[in-house]
Structure 1
Amino acid sequence: MTAGNGELADLLRRAGLEIVGDGEAVNVLPPKAAWRPVAAASTRPTAEVRDDHPDLVAELNAQWRRLATEYGVLGTDGEFLLDALTSPRGWLRVRLTEHWDLAGVLGPRPGRPEFVTLSADGDSLLGVTTEEYSVWLIAVDRLGERLEAQARARAAESPEEHAACWQSFRRFTSAPERLRRAWLEGLAGNPAAPVSVLRRLLTVDPAERVWSALLDRELPPEVVAAWLAHPEWTVRRRLVESRHLSAPDRTQLLADAAPEDRTVLAMLTATMGEPLTEAGYAALAADRDPRVRAEMARHPDLPVQLLGALAADPDSLVRSRAATRAHPRPRPSRSTDEPDCSAAESTTETVELRSRDQDPEVRYRALRDARLSPASVVRLLDDPQEWIRNAAAGDARLPARVLTSLLHGTETARSAAANPAVPVAGMHHLLDRAKVGSPPPGSPPA
């Protein structure tokens, strides 16, 4: 994050702060996680200044400087990280100028500050927050060590606690629109979602646009059949984008398309190189619309005899496409990622160490390792990289109380709803809260 926008630059100028370098911080926990020990109900202040202090702003600045030095938030070079609830959110690497005033500027009004500062290495924190009759300064040292301990505590869960948590979760009955949308997107990609859940998703208004995750996965035959039988053509036509649709089903979909849609669907089919039946190739190569024939001339698997016929087509565009089509290209590989050659040599201890590595790719590979402890998965929910935090939110090792809290966070709801650890009853409860109708009659049981 940089101080590129004028409002933020003005705020920093008035607070007496200057940006260091490009202002960005790397490999430190996100600001939202840093605020937790400041805002927690059990938190007690390291220092407190009553709001009727005769020189409130000056006293707050002095107390911040004292604690920032004592706890190592201020580095020897005077640099530290700042989050002051500004938009866009993110740490700023700054240093104090000769005339600075944090308590008078970083809040809704002078003497009512709200900000968190962090040491450059991310291990010491000092937050300032306004309470009812005073301002609290909360200092936390050895932050990484404390977060590790908290992660271990949050990861501990008995079977009885697990069951009670999901039972309690079902007491919630409503949710804002943004949260409902995130749940639907997540459930559409949840690998453990049964037929009954996937079929309920097909009742969602097409405007909700939850179909992308369904298109990226292999669907049970019952769900494909229900999708192909959907009364809305706008819903049915999206299936042509799926790489898991069978040749007969794709052929039928194109045959059902209205003339104005068939060109686009033929283009998608040819671009993706997805197969049709022999009859399907023949029908589209002989379509009345030359644009459809021209698209089929691009299909890498079009039979040679049909390509020859299109090379002699009355339409010049069709002839040109058929004549210039490249030789059939090799199919793109759909194999999984290359195996980690070091996996056979690693141990549980080395996997744990890699989950703390400075390289985010190494941390991610550790997260994907089945030997990583649930406590480390919980810890990675506060990873500096958002994509790793999202991957951790979708990890089945998370305890129920952590996963249910993620389902209620707008930044994590989608990844959490895609977590295979969500029980089927919980998935249906999310659909109920999202006001999604019941599946059509005859749907298989959950």
Structure 2
Amino acid sequence: MVAFYASALDGIARNPALPTPLLLRLLAFDEGGGHPPRDAVQRAGLPEPAVGVILAHPNPGVRIDFAMSARAEPAQRARLADDPSPKVRAALAYGPERLPRTTVEPLPDAVCARLLDDPDPSVRAALLNSPHLAPSFVASMAAHHDPEARRGAVRAWEILPPGEQAALLADPDAEVRRAAALRECRRDARVTAELLRDPESAAEAQRCGLLVRADAERCVAERTHPAALAENPSLPADLVERLAVDPDEAVRLAVSLRPELDETRRMAIDFTAGDFDRGDGVRWVRDGLADPEVLRRAATSAHPLLQRAAARSPHLPPDLLRLLARVEDPVLENLLGIYHPDTPEEVLMRVFARLGGTFSAWMAETHPRFPREGLAARYADHPDGNYRRLAVRDPAATPELIERLSHDPAVWTRQAAAGDPRLPLHRLREALHVPELASSAGANPALPEAEMAAVLERAGVPA
């Protein structure tokens, strides 16, 4: 297949104006071991005939693409639960990759239960590692015959009935007992004491277990896991103060992130926040990204890691978003641009200018607040092609400007213009035969149906 025909075909696969008959023809493509473009398989709102073609496709790679589509309805993907290929069932069990500002609906509990009992171990492992399981299903695994499933059920510890918690704590499998104990130790000092004697559990028990005074003093003196201990919410205040002046910088940093400190005490600690540390390790903020009180404590702090941790939440109220948007911190701005749908335009433009490349393109195309109006006047003649392509986003850009930008020296600017429906038809037809523009031109919703059909013909997709 000629390379630019293949590129044009990829573009047509994601073209929002692609008629259903051509979509069905494209999805059925399997000649010579061919594979329809992934964008065709993972389109949003696929009609039922298209889903039927995918589910029956002889190439398991096509079915895998659909199993991992974030745009497909869970009930549609669930129809692959009995697929003959364990690779397809494993892809279904794990589900789509998690992307910022997107949510994936979990598969029905009954389908997950079937996958958990799948005869192939790779399918069972994929399900247990999936980030998309409903809490109700996770909790239901507490009585499963497979110890790996029972250990997975510990993730739903807070909603498990006391009887099921007790059963997991007494489970015949040592790993299940350890996982359950590491949850129970947060409220039980006796369980914490037992875990402290287990080298495999000691660090986590020091981090989150309920400590009696004697155990806390011994942990401080022994210094086996001092940075983990510095996070422990039950650590007595005087021992917290001792660790606040510890010679280990990581220990002082951990103390500075404790939730109970007031700002005066927090900022009096001699800590250093890494220039690229995103605050992912601040557990009490990470676990409370939907909790207004947690977000307020973190966002109003002067500690850069608490601010960055809060910036990962899409639930920031407007006043906290405005507060963080005024902080001069590139890492924090990047996080706001990635995670928050209402990030102010001026922040998004600073992130765009700073990062450039693929990330900037993704943000400009997907962020609901990324600016559009006025970009043509500001950037059509900018010396940087990364900015000239922004002019294509402007609703006021004329067809003449779009055509001019389709000949721009910068390839990304040319590609942006080739995909714009205002591009004059004669230039759009030309772009279909230019290797670096063929994909963008194929995705252009102004491309006539006859031209789409011709691309399929030239690419060898049979009628």
Q: State TM-score, norm by structure 2.
A: 0.49
* RMSD, matched Cα: 3.3
What does the per-residue CA deviation read over 1:137-189, in whole Å, with 9 as the maximum and x for residues that have no partner? xxxxxxxxxxxxxxxxxxxxxxxxxxxxxxxxxxxxxxx62232122111111
Letter in 2 for 1:242: S
Indicate the residue corresponding to 1:393 in structure 2.
418
Partner of 1:431: 456
C-alpha distance 250-424 of structure 1, shift in aligned 2 (>3 A): same
Q: Which residue of 2 aligns with 1:337?
A: 367
- State the partner residue of 2:435: 410
Q: What's the CA shift for 1:202? A: 1.6
Answer whether contact 1:215 1:239 (CA < 8 A) is retained. Answer: yes
Which of 59, 69, 74 in structure 2 is aligned with 1:242?
69
Say whether residues 1:256 and 2:83 are aligned partners. yes
Between stretches 247-256 and 223-232, larger displacement belongs to: 223-232
Asked whether the equivalents of residues 285 and 306 of structure 1 are also in contact (C-alpha less than 8 Å), the reply is no
Instruction: Work out the CA distance in 2 between the residues paired with 1:204 and 1:328.
Output: 47
Residue 296 of structure 1 and its aligned partner are, at CA, apart by: 2.6
Deviations 1:266-296 (A, max 9, x none): 2245868552123212222343445433433
Contact map agreement 2:69 2:96 (CA 8 A) in 1: no
Structure-to-structure mapping, 1:13-412, within 5 angstroms: 177-205=2-30, 207-221=33-47, 222-259=49-86, 261-269=88-96, 273-323=104-154, 336-340=366-370, 343=373, 346=374, 351-412=376-437
Q: 1:412 corresponds to which letter in structure 2?
A: L
SS at match of 2:383: coil
Alpha-carbon distance in 2 for matches of 1:238, 1:194? 21
CA contact (8 A) 1:270 1:298 kept: no
Query: How much has 1:422 moved relative to structure 2?
Result: 1.2
Contact 1:194 1:424 in 2 (8 A): yes
Relative to structure 1, the CA distance from residue 365 to residue 324 in structure 2 (aligned partners, 3 Å threshold; closer, same or farther) is same
The structure, 1 or 2, with the larger RCO (C-alpha pairs under 8 Å, 6+ apart) is 1
Count residues with an aligned counterpart: 258
CA distance in 2, matches of 1:284, 1:328: 31
Q: Secondary structure at the match of 1:404?
A: helix
Helix, strand or coil: the match of 1:382? coil
Between the aligned partners of 1:213 and 1:328, the Cα distance in structure 2 is: 35
- 8 Å Cα contact 1:290-1:318 kept in structure 2: no
SS, match of residue 414 in structure 1:
helix
**Secondary structure of the structure 2 residue equivalent to 1:238:** helix
User: Does structure 1 retain, via aligned residues, the 8 Å contact 2:23–2:50?
Assistant: yes
- Which is higher, the Rg of structure 1 or of structure 2? 1
Mean CA deviation greater in 359-368 or 237-246: 359-368
- Paired amino acid for 1:287: D
Structure richer in helix, relative to its length: 2
Name the SS of the counterpart of 2:16 in structure 1: coil
CA distance in structure 2 between the aligned counterparts of 1:382 and 1:294, rounded to whole angstroms: 50
Deviations 1:2-22 (A, max 9, x none): xxxxxxxxxxxxxxxxxxxxx
> Equivalents in 1 of 2:113, 2:457: separation in Å?
45
Give the strand-richer structure, 1 or 2: 1
1: distance between equivalents of 2:405 and 2:140?
Answer: 59
CA distance in 2, matches of 1:329, 1:290: 34
Report the identity percentage.
Answer: 34
Displacement of 1:218: 1.1
* CA distance in 1: counterparts of 2:370 and 2:132, whole angstroms: 34
Q: Which whole-Å CA distance do the structure 1 matches of 2:37 and 2:369 have between them? A: 31
Name the counterpart of 1:14.
none
Query: Structure 1 counterpart of 2:435, which letter?
Result: T
Q: Is the 8 Å Cα contact of residues 355 and 363 (structure 1) preserved in structure 2?
A: yes
Deviation (angstroms), 1:201: 0.6
Q: CA deviation at 1:405?
A: 1.5
Q: Is the 8 A contact 1:297 1:322 kept in 2?
A: no
Task: Give the Cα–Cα distance (whole angstroms) in 2 for the partners of residues 269 and 373 of structure 1.
Answer: 39
Q: Pick closer, same or farther for the CA change 1:303–1:436 going to 2, 3 Å.
A: closer
TM-score w.r.t. length of structure 1: 0.50
Q: Distance in 2 between matches of 1:236 and 1:366?
A: 38
Structure 1 residue 210 displacement after superposition: 4.0
Say if 1:197 and 1:428, in contact at 8 Å, map to a contact too: yes
Return closer, same or farther for 1:299/1:401 CA change in 2, 3 Å cut-off.
same
CA–CA separation in structure 1 for the residues paired with 2:431 and 2:76: 38
Q: What is the one-letter code of the residue matched to 2:69?
A: S
Separation of aligned partners in 2, 1:329 and 1:248:
29
Q: How far apart in 2 are the matches of 1:229 and 1:329? A: 41
Provide the rounded CA distance (Å) in 2 between the counterparts of 1:306 and 1:193. Answer: 38
Is the CA contact 1:294–1:318 (under 8 Å) kept in the aligned structure 2? no
